[in-house]
Amino acid sequence: MKRRVLFICTHNSARSQMAEGLLRHLGGERFEVFSAGTEATFVRPLAIRAMAELGIDISGQESKTLDRYLGETLDYVITVCDTAAEACPVFPGAAMRRHWSFEDPSKAGGSETEQLAVYRRVRDELRARIEQELLEQRS
């Protein structure tokens, strides 16, 4: 039976999008993965680029609000930013709620190369957390 996982971040533009792509890629058929935000914006080009470096295409993903998942039965609801953790409503259908705090790469300054380095670091931190907390327990 597939585990259903929802990643939430404020704008659903970088961290939650990368987490969705990572778990979908790494977890394969074992997971049904979604992401959403307290607000919907767009998937950031540098997030798409950082994920493409791993051979994961998130360019077709879209930014969504979490309202569409409120009535869903979910195994995990995972917030990946502090603001979303504070604003996230209760999901009565969620078996487990977790909060993972990650830096917001969209706020990185400097050149595009320096900004991309932050996206890569956050991507790699997300991957490590997904592997440790979601994949290892399921193997």
Catalytic sites, residue numbers: 9, 81, 88
Dihedral over Cα of 18, 23, 26, 29: its sign: negative
CA distance linking residue 139 with residue 137, whole number of Å: 6
Q: What is the distance between the alpha carbons of residues 26 and 9, in angstroms, rounded to a whole number?
A: 20
Report the DSSP beta bridge partners of residue 78.
7, 98
